[in-house]
A and B are shown apart, each in its own frame.
Chain A
Amino acid sequence: MRVRVDGDKCQGHNRCYSLAPELFDVDDYGNAHELNDGVVPPGLEEKARLAAANCPEYAVIIEEDA
Chain B
Amino acid sequence: MTGNHPPVTDWSVDFDHADPTYAADPYPIWEEIRGRGCPVAHSDRYGGVWFPATHELVSEIAYDTERFTSRSVLVTEGRPLAPAPQGIAPPISSDPPFHHGARRLLLPAFSPKAIEKLEPFTRAYCHELLDAVAGREVIDGAVDYSQHIPVRVIAKMLGFPLEDADTFRKFVHDVLESVDLPIERRLENFLELDAYLTAQVEDHLAHPRDDLTSFLLDAEMDGAPLQPEHVGGTIVLLLLAGIDTTWSAIGSSLWHLAGHAADRQRLVAEPELLPLAIEEFLRAYAPVTMARLVVDDMDFHGCPMKKDEWVLLPFPSANRDPAAFDRADEVILDREENRHAAFGLGIHRCAGSNLARMEMRVALEVWLERFPEFSLADPAGVQWSGGQVRGPRVLPIHVG
Q: Using a CB–CB distance below 8 Å, which chain A residues touch chain B?
A: 11-15, 17-18, 26-30, 50, 53-58
Contact = CB atoms under 8 A, between A and B. Distances in A.
B339 interface: yes
15 contacts: A11-B346, A11-B349, A12-B107, A14-B112, A14-B353, A17-B112, A18-B357, A27-B111, A28-B107, A30-B111, A30-B112, A53-B336, A54-B337, A54-B338, A57-B345
A56 B111 contact: no
B112 A26 contact: yes
Contact of A54 (B110, B114, B279): B279
A12 B336 CA distance: 20
Contacts of A29: 104, 107-108, 111
Contacts of B343: 13, 56
Choose among A12, A18, A57 the residue with the greatest number of B CB atoms under 10 Å from its CB: A12
B339 A58 contact: yes
Given A29-B107, A30-B107, A56-B345, A13 B353 contact: yes
Given A12-B349, A28-B114, A30-B110, 5 more contacts: A12-B107, A12-B353, A28-B111, A30-B112, A56-B343
A45 to B, nearest CB: 14
Interface residues of B, number: 24
Contacts of B341: 56
Instruction: Tell me the interface secondary structure of chain A in the complex.
Output: loop
A18 B112 contact: yes
Interface in B327-383: 336-341, 343, 345-347, 349, 353-354, 357
A27 B349 CA distance: 16
A27 B113 CA distance: 9
A13 B279 CA distance: 12
A12 B104 CA distance: 11
B56 to A, nearest CB: 13
A29 to B, nearest CB: 5
Interface in B94-139: 104, 107-108, 110-114
Nearest to A57: B345
B337 A53 contact: yes
